[in-house]
Amino acid sequence: MNIIEHFNHIKQWLENYIASFDRSDSFTALNLDLKREHTFRVCEETSIIAAGLGLNETDAAIAGLCALLHDVGRFEQFHRYRTFADNLSVDHGDFGCRIIEQYRLLDGLEDEHRQLIMDAVEHHNKITISEDLPERSRFFTSILRDADKLDIWKLVIDYYDNNTENDAVKLDLSMDNTFTEKVFLDLLDYRMADKKDLRTLNDFKLNQMAWVFDLNFKCSVRRVKEKGYLRRIASHMDNVMEVQKIYSRAQAYVYSL
Ligand SMILES: [Fe+2]
C-alpha cells in the first residue's frame, strides 16, 4: 500500500472507529460529531496549505495523514472524561499517539514517514514547537498547527454566532467579564498564552485573536484575512482596552503580509 492508499484506508478506519462509540445521549453524539467534522475540515485546510506550498504528492499525503490523525485521541478522551479540556483529563496529543500505537495505524509506512506523523500528532497541541524536533518534523507539525487553528477559528466563531450551549466547547471557562492580567501581558508581548492561564471566556477569545502571530505560513495568514476571523471574534467581545490593543496588533500583522 502506498502512502496515498494508506491515507484512504485510515480515513475509512477513522469513520468506523468514531462510529463505534456509544452515542445514545445527545451530549456525547454532539461532541463526537463536532470532532469528526473538525478532523475532516482540518484535512481540507491542510490540502489548501499543501497546494499553497507546492508540496509533492507524497508530502501532501503525509500532511493529510497528520491532519486525519491529529485528534484521534479526542474520542476516547471524551468517552472517558466527558471533556475536551486537557488540563482536566489527558494531553490529547500524547494520548493520540497512544491510540495510533494501540491500533497500529501507521504499520506498513516507511519509518521516516511514520515518525513525521507521530511527531506532528504529539506536538500539534503544545504551546510551541520544540526546538529539538528534526526539521522535517517541524515542517509537518507547522502545517498541522496552522490547519488546526484555521478550523478551530471557524468552529468557535460559528459557536459564538449561533450562541449554542455546549460546555465542552466552552472548555469549562468562567463567563465573568474580565481578563487575566498574565494572559493579556503575554499576548501584548506577542507570546501565546499558556492554556493553564486561560481562566475566562474573554481570555480564550483574546488568545484566539493573537493566534495569528503563531501561524507559520503566509498562505495561512491570508486565509484568516479572507475569512474575516479577527473581526468576527472582536464582534463577540466588548470594545474595551484589552480587546482594542490585541485586535489592532493582530489586524496590523495580518495586513502587513
Ligand atoms: Fe487537537
Among the listed residues 216, 212, 219, 217, the one whose alpha carbon sits nearest the alpha carbon of residue 254: 212
Distance 239 CA to ligand 1 centre (A): 30
Distance 136 CA to ligand 1 centre (A): 20
* The residue type at 71: D
Helix axis angle for 73-81 and 92-102, nearest 10°, is 110
Between 174 and 58, residue with greater pLDDT? 58
CA 222 and chain centroid, separation = 18
Q: Map out the domains of the chain as residue ranges.
A: 3-149, 173-256
Distance 70 CA to ligand 1 centre (A): 6
For the chain, percent of residues with pLDDT exceeding 70: 96
pTM: 0.89
Distance 121 CA to ligand 1 centre (A): 8
Band (119; pLDDT cuts 50, 70, 90): very high
**pLDDT average, residue stretch 107-111:** 96
Distance 71 CA to ligand 1 centre (A): 5
Distance 256 CA to ligand 1 centre (A): 28
Helix axis angle for 218-227 and 241-256, nearest 10°, is 120
**pLDDT average, residue stretch 33-56:** 97
Residue 230 has pLDDT above 90, yes or no: yes
CA angle 113, 77, 68 (to 5 degrees): 30
**pLDDT average, residue stretch 218-234:** 95
Distance 92 CA to ligand 1 centre (A): 7
Distance 235 CA to ligand 1 centre (A): 25
Residue 165: the pLDDT is 63
For the chain, percent of residues with pLDDT exceeding 90: 84
Distance 251 CA to ligand 1 centre (A): 25
Q: Tell me the three cell numbers of residue 22.
A: 456509544
Distance 240 CA to ligand 1 centre (A): 30
Instruction: Please name the residue ranges forming H helices in the chain.
Output: 3-19, 26-53, 57-69, 73-81, 92-102, 111-123, 135-162, 167-170, 181-188, 201-210, 218-227, 229-234, 241-256
Band (222; pLDDT cuts 50, 70, 90): very high
Among the listed residues 200, 211, 214, 216, the one whose alpha carbon sits nearest the alpha carbon of residue 154: 211
Residue 175: the pLDDT is 85
- For 124-182, the pLDDT digits (tens) are 999 889 999 999 999 999 999 999 999 999 988 988 888 766 654 556 788 888 999 99
Residue 162: the pLDDT is 84
Residue 224: the pLDDT is 95
Between 162 and 108, residue with greater pLDDT? 108
Helix axis angle for 92-102 and 111-123, nearest 10°, is 150
Residue 169: the pLDDT is 58
Distance 63 CA to ligand 1 centre (A): 15
Residue 171: the pLDDT is 61
Residue 237 has pLDDT above 90, yes or no: yes
Distance 86 CA to ligand 1 centre (A): 10
Distance 148 CA to ligand 1 centre (A): 7
Distance 76 CA to ligand 1 centre (A): 13
Q: What is the 3-state secondary structure (H, E, C) of 207-226?
A: HHHHHHHHCCCHHHHHHHHH
**Range 217-250 burial, b when 16+ CB lie within 10 A, else e:** eebbbebbeeeebbebbbeebeeeebbeebbebb
Residue 176: the pLDDT is 86
Distance 152 CA to ligand 1 centre (A): 9
Residue 167: the pLDDT is 56
Q: Tell me the three cell numbers of residue 251.
A: 489586524
Distance 257 CA to ligand 1 centre (A): 27
**pLDDT average, residue stretch 86-112:** 97
Phi first, then psi: what are they for 200, rounded to 5°? -115, 165
Residue 127: the pLDDT is 84
Superfamily designation of domain 3-149? Hypothetical protein af1432 (1.10.3210.10)
Residue 154: the pLDDT is 92
Alpha-carbon distance 24 to 2, whole Å?
Answer: 37
